[in-house]
Chain A
Amino acid sequence: MIPHNETMMLKTPFYSRCLAACEINMWEDWKGYTTPQAYTSVEQEYFAVRSNTGVFDISPMIKYRFTGPDAGAYLNRLVTRDIRKIGVGRVAYTVWCDDNGQVMDDGTIFHLAENDYRLCAYARCLDWLMWSAEGFDVTIVDETAEVAALAVQGPTSCAIFKNMGFDGIENLKPFGLTRYPFEGSEVMISRTGFTGDLGYEIWVDPSLAETFWDRLFEAGKHREIRPIGGHALEMLRTEAGFVQAGVDFIPAEESVRTGRSRSPFELGLGWLVSFDKPVFNGRKALLKEKKEGSRYAFVYLDVEGNKPAEYAFIYDGDKQVGTVTTAAWCPTAKTNIAFAQVDAKYGKPGQELVTEIYYDRELKWTRVMAKCTVIESAVFNPPRKRQTPAPDF
C-alpha cells in the first residue's frame, strides 16, 4: 500500500491517540507524517523515559523487508557489519556506505526468520538497495506503511509489558526480538531503542495499532506511562550518545557539496566495519582510509560550564579545528555535552580544546570561550540498559 497523496500530511496508525494526548498542539513533519514534537511538557516527557516509561510513535521510520534465499548474503554485501553473526531473533545496529566508503545512513537490521530480514532506516534508499541487489535472489519491499511501531522506553517498560501479559519479556536480551500473540494476531517486541535506557520497540499490524496503544496505557497506568514527542527524544539520544542522520552527518546520497559526507570512521562508528568480510559496499575505500588515515574524527566533548555549545566552533589555540553538530545540557547525567566533527588529529580522548559559545540573556548576546575535553564515550549508560532479566524499575 502506497500512502495516498490527497492530504498534505500523512497520519500514522496511532494518530488518533497521539492527537488526543497532544495537549500543547506542537507537531512536526517526519518524512511526510505529522508527529508530535511534544505532548504536554518536553521536560516531563524526557523524565518519563528516565524515571518511568515514555512512548514514542516510530511508525514513520523507513522500513524495508528482505526475503529470499540470498537475503542474508545480500545484506552482508550491503552493510559494513558482519550480518552472518546476527542469528535469527537478533537485531544489529549498522551503517551502510556508498562505493566511496561514505555513510549513506545508519539503522537496525532485524533477523526475523530464516531468509527474512527487516531494515529500519532514517532515509529512503530503495534505489540503492535495488542497485546493490543485482545478482542476488532477494525480494525487497518498502513496508513503511504496513508496520505500526512504538518505542516503549524507560525503567518501568518491562514491568508494563509484564502487566500486559507478555510473560518472560524480562528475559529478552538487549538486541533480541520475540513475538507474543495479540488480539488474534501477534506483536513483535525487540529490546532496542534510541534513548540509551532500558526499553523496547513494538511492531504490529496497523489495524491493531490503536488497540495496542490502549492496552499499553492501561497496563502502564500505575507505572506513570506517558507519550513523548520528538523534542524529548532529541535530548534522550544526545545524552545516550547516538548520532542522528541529517544532524550529525549528511547521508552520502543527499550530499551535494564535495567533502561533506563522512565515513564510518569519521563518525566514531569504525567498530561497525568488518573487514573480515571479503566484499561489501565501500570496502575498498574504507580499507584505504584505514591505512592512510581519516580526514575527520567524531568526538564527544565534555564542555565546561552549563551553556550548551550549540553550533559552536572548536579551537585549538587560534586555529579552528571543528564544529559542533549536537549539543545539550544533559538533565540526568548533569553534564554539558557536545558531539563534534574535528580534524582527525584532535580526536583522541583527553584532548583539550575550546568551544566558542554564543548565548543571549534578555536580548544581550554574549560569547564565552569554554574549555572542553574529548571524552571516550557517551555520558549516560545505566546498568538497567543491559540487565537481563530486566528490572521492574
Chain B
Amino acid sequence: MKKYDAIIVGAGHNGLTNAAYLAKAGLDVLVLEKNAYIGGATVSRELYPNWKYSNCSYVCSLLRPEIIRDLELPRHGLQVVPYGGGVTFKENGDYLGAHADHERMLRELARHSKRDASAYERYEADVMKQTRLIRPFLMRTPPDPTSLKPRDLKELSVLAKSFGSMGEEALADTMRFWTMSIGDFLDEYFESDVIKAHLAGSGIIGTALGVYSPGTAYVLLHHYMGDVDGSVGAWGFARGGMGAVSAALSASFQSFGGTIQCDAEVAQIIVKNGKAKGVALANGDELYADIVVSNLDPKRTFLKIMDEGDLPADVVKKAKNFKIRGSSGKLNIALDGLPTFTGLPKDSPLCLGEKHFSDSLQKMERAYDEWKDGTWSKDPYVDMLIPTQIDPTMAPPGKHMMSVFVQYAPPKIHGGDWTAEDKAGFEKTVIDQISNYSPDFKDLILHCETRTPQDIENEVGLTEGNIFMGELTFDQLLFNRPFPGYAQYRGPVKGMYMCSSGTHPGGGVMAAPGANAAREILMDLKLTNTVPGGYDDD
C-alpha cells in the first residue's frame, strides 16, 4: 500500500496551511477530512439557493499576511476586503457608533462622555503597546522556559528582550493586562456604560468567561492583534465568505502536489513501537505515513483518535483537564432586503460594521450568569454583520446575508443535550432581540440556519463548540498551549505533531499554528524551512 510522507488529520485552515508548507518542501502529503467539504470552521456553504453563508468563522484579520503572500493565496482566489464602522444600540433608542475616521469617532464618543473621548486615545495607545509586544511572536515557536537547549534559551532571550524594552511601568501594566478582566481594564479608562460595553465585546467573544472574569483583557488583545494591510486591529471579509480562505489554501496546497481526501474520518492514529505509523479511518481503511499531524483540538486528538495506552499518563490527564468550553452559537440568515435599524439611516457607514445590542457591562455579566446556570442568555451579546453590503458574491443583488454570532450558549442545557425546543427557543431569543432594534427585520427573513454549540461540535468537530479550540487564558497560552512541555507542536509520540488552534498562538483564522508546526516538522526532518518569518512592526 502507498505510504505518504505526511498525513494531516482535518482540512481546516491550519491543517491546509501545515500541509501546504510540507508539500512545498517536497513532501508527499495527504489531508484527510471527515466532512464532504473542506475548511472546518473556515467554510462557506450554500444552504439556501443563491445565498452563501460563512457558517462558522465570519470575519478575517488574524490570517497572517506573511502566509497569504508566501502561499500566493490572492493568486489562488483569496481577496480580503476590510470593513469599517460598528455600532452598539442602546435600549433607550440611542446608539454608540464606531467610526473608522478617528476624529469622527472621538466626536461620537464625546456625545456619550467628553472625558471618555479623551481617554480613548490613551486606551488606544495602551492596547497598541500590548499588540506590539505579542505580534512578533505569532510566527515563532514558543520557547520552553524549563529547557536549557540553545534554541529555547535564545528564544527566551528574545521574549525577555521584548518585555524588557517596554520599560518598568509598561511591564507592570503588561503583567496586569495579561491576567485582569476586560471589565476592570476598561474601568480604568472609561465612565460611559455603552462605551465600555462596546469595547468589552472583543474580550469575551469565543470564551466561556464573563466581562469581569480574570483573563478576558488578553482575549481583547487576541481580537486586536491582527491587521488588514498593516492596519493593526482592522477586520475584513473574505470575498465569497470564509470558505474562500480554505479554497485558496487548498489550491495552493494542490499546486505543490498535495492530495485532499474528503469523507474520510480518522478513527485512530496508528502508533507502533512509540512511533506514529499512519491512521485508521472510520471505514476501516488504513493509510500510512511516518508523520501524522493532528489539526483536531487537543481533547479530540489525545482522547478520541489516540489510544491512551500509546500516551504518557500526564498527557492524558492534561488533555482531560484542557479547558475548551462552548460558549457561543450562531445564526446565519438570508434576508429579502436590507433591514432598517432604529435611529440609524440605512446608508450610514456605521452599518457596514458589527452591530451589538448590549449597552452595559452589567447586561453582559448577567448574560454570562445564565450560561453558568446551564442555559442560553435571554439577552445575549451578539456580534452581527451583513457582509453583503460590501461583498456582492454572497447573495443576489439587493438581497442580504446576515451573520449573527451569539454569546452565551452552553454546550449542554442544564447538563443534558439540546432539544429541538431548546434550539427553537435559542433562535427565537436572538431574532426577538434583533427585532427590538429593527422593526422590519422579521419580515425580511427568508431562511435561518441556527447552530448551537452542540451542532458546531457535531459538524465541525470543535469540542463543546469552542471556536478557539481551547480557552485563551494565560494558563493555556504561549508555552502553556496546549499544555506545558508540549507547546512546540511535537506530540508525545515520535512522528506525531499538532497544528491546530489548540497550539500557539491560538484560535481565530490565523494559520500561524499550521505554519509554525510545519517549520518544526521540517526541522526534525532536516529539510529546508519553507515557512516565512514574521513581518516586523518596527
Interface of A toward B, CB cutoff 8 Å? 40-41, 43-44, 47, 50-52, 155-156, 159, 222-224, 305-306, 329, 331-335, 361, 366, 379-380, 393
Contact = CB atoms under 8 A, between A and B. Distances in A.
Contacts of B73: 334
B82 A47 contact: yes
Interface stretch (B260-268, B392-400, B478-486): B392-400
Given A44-B84, A51-B81, A306 B397 contact: no
A333 B535 CA distance: 16
A161 to B, nearest CB: 13
A340 B391 CA distance: 34
A89 B391 CA distance: 33
Contacts of B391: 51
Nearest to A362: B538
Nearest to B66: A306
A305 B535 CA distance: 6
B69 A41 contact: no
Contacts of B230: 306, 329
B45 to A, nearest CB: 19
A331 B229 contact: yes
| Interface bracket on B | 20 to 34
Given A47-B82, A50-B79, 20 more contacts: A40-B349, A41-B84, A41-B101, A44-B84, A51-B79, A51-B81, A51-B390, A155-B392, A156-B392, A224-B390, A224-B392, A305-B535, A306-B535, A329-B229, A332-B79, A333-B74, A333-B75, A334-B65, A334-B69, A335-B69
Contacts of A306: 65, 230, 535
A393 B392 contact: yes
B299 interface: no
A156 B231 CA distance: 26
Contacts of A156: 392
Contacts of A379: 74
B101 A51 contact: no
B100 interface: yes
Given A223-B397, A306-B65, A50 B81 contact: yes
B82 A43 contact: yes
Q: Sort A-B residue pairs by CB-CB distance and give the 4 closest, nearest first.
A: A222-B398, A222-B397, A393-B392, A331-B229
Interface in B55-102: 65, 68-69, 73-75, 79, 81-82, 84, 100-101
Contacts of A393: 392-393
Contacts of A334: 65, 68-69, 73-74, 229
A334 B536 CA distance: 16
6 contacts: A50-B79, A52-B390, A305-B536, A332-B74, A335-B69, A379-B74
Given A331-B229, A332-B79, A334-B65, A52 B392 contact: yes
B239 interface: yes
Nearest to A155: B392
A217 to B, nearest CB: 12
Interface string B217-256: 0000000000011110000000100000000000000000
B141 interface: no
Contacts of A159: 397
B389 interface: yes
A361 B538 contact: yes
Contact of A47 (B68, B81, B100, B231): B81
A159 B239 CA distance: 17
Nearest to B239: A51
A366 B538 CA distance: 9
Contacts of B398: 222
Nearest to B337: A222
Given A43-B82, A51-B81, A224 B389 contact: yes
Contacts of B239: 51
A268 B367 CA distance: 62
A335 B72 CA distance: 9
A332 B73 CA distance: 10
A331 B349 CA distance: 21
Interface in B402-454: none
Nearest to A308: B230
A355 to B, nearest CB: 15
A49 to B, nearest CB: 11
Contacts of A223: 392, 397
A382 to B, nearest CB: 9
B390 A41 contact: no
Contacts of A224: 389-390, 392
Interface string B487-519: 000000000000000000000000000000000
Nearest to A41: B100
A332 B74 CA distance: 7
A364 to B, nearest CB: 9
Contacts of B84: 41, 43-44
Contacts of B100: 41
Nearest to B231: A43
A306 B390 CA distance: 26
Contacts of B389: 224
Contacts of B390: 47, 51-52, 224
A243 B65 CA distance: 26
Nearest to A43: B82
Contacts of A52: 390, 392
